[in-house]
Amino acid sequence: MATFDRHGLLARAGSRIKRIRARTWLMLAAVALAFIGLLIWAAIAILSWLWGQAPTVAGAGTRIAGEAVTQIEQAAPGLQDQLGQWVPALKEPLERWLPGVAGGAPASDVSGADVGPVPRYPGLVRSYFARNGQVSEVRYTGRAATDAVLAHYIQGFTSAGYAQEVISASPEGEQHRFGRGQEVIDLALKRKSPGLVDVTLKVSAQ
């Protein structure tokens, strides 16, 4: 009896399905296709948004890593030298994971003299000096936040009466020109690695 009832139900269901019009099937298929299309569109939109956020996330990660390196160095001055003396074998893997901590910044100034009216940013070391006629060039290297270094020099030059001009800017660095009368000073700031910066000042008289 139970078997007969099941067959009867199946027969009635099949009969009802046969009575559904082709137009209804077409409408159901269109709705299903539209729903699938919406799902595909949503997936593409989400992937596009995530792809657009990738540079921002990468930049934030680089900035956070740089700030962390700076904080470590400020909390433990001389960490680089101590690592080199205590565990030399750790310098290579440490530089790979935290660039700038295990090396890169000189320990003391090279010969020469500072240029320009703005004192060098605290913590930077003079790593290069050259003079050719009326042109003097000096480079400073050290661990510092690039935004703070740039603000230091911009404020210093503008306070001294120099007019500022941005020559170029990119995530890797910036170039600014400061002029006062016949004197021109070019400033180039380069982000060598997270927490490690180069500042080059080139002074020329026109």
For residue 81, the enclosing domain spans 76-104
Residue 90 lies in a domain: yes
Backbone angles phi, psi at 157, to 5 degrees: -70, -45
Using CA atoms, how far residue 144 sits from 66, 69, 117, 187, in Å, is 8, 9, 21, 16
**Global pTM exceeds 0.75:** no
Q: Is residue 69 part of a domain?
A: no
In a domain, 70, yes or no: no
Q: Do residues 157 and 197 share a domain?
A: yes
Is the residue at 166 inside a domain?
A: yes
Nearest to 100 by CA among 204, 200, 191: 191
Q: Is residue 177 domain-resident?
A: yes
Q: How far is CA 201 from the centre of its chain?
A: 24
Do 112 and 99 lie in one domain? The reply is no
| Residue 24 host element (H or E) | helix 22-75
pLDDT of residue 130: 94
- Bigger pLDDT: 74 or 135? 135
Same domain for 100 and 12? no
**Domain of 169: which CATH number?**
3.30.160
139 half-sphere exposure, CB direction, 13 A CA radius: 12
Kindly state whether residues 110 and 85 are assigned to the same domain: no
Looking at the structure of the chain, the number of domains it has is 3
Residue 100 and residue 124 in one domain: no
Q: How far apart are the first and last CA of the chain?
A: 110
Question: In sequence order, what are the beta bridge partners of 130?
Answer: 137
Span 66-100, pLDDT tens digits: 555 555 545 544 444 454 444 444 444 544 444 44
Please check whether residues 29 and 83 belong to one and the same domain.
no
For residues 4 and 181, the model is more confident at 181
What DSSP designation does 143 have?
A: E
- Residue 159 counted as domain residue: yes
C-alpha 120/C-alpha 134 separation (Å) is 21
As a whole number, mean pLDDT of residues 38-64 equals 72
Same domain as 142, residue 130: yes
Are 168 and 183 in a shared domain?
Answer: yes
Kindly report which listed range (3-7, 44-48, 80-84) carries the lowest average pLDDT score. 80-84
Same domain, 95 and 8: no
Residues 26, 38 within the same domain: yes
User: Does a structural domain hold residue 122?
Assistant: yes
> Binning pLDDT at 50, 70 and 90, where does residue 135 land?
very high
Q: Residues 18, 88: one domain?
A: no
SS3 28: helix
CB 110 within 8 A of CB 178: no
Question: How far is Cα 54 from Cα 149, in angstroms, rounded to an integer?
Answer: 27
115 and 97 both lie in a single domain = no
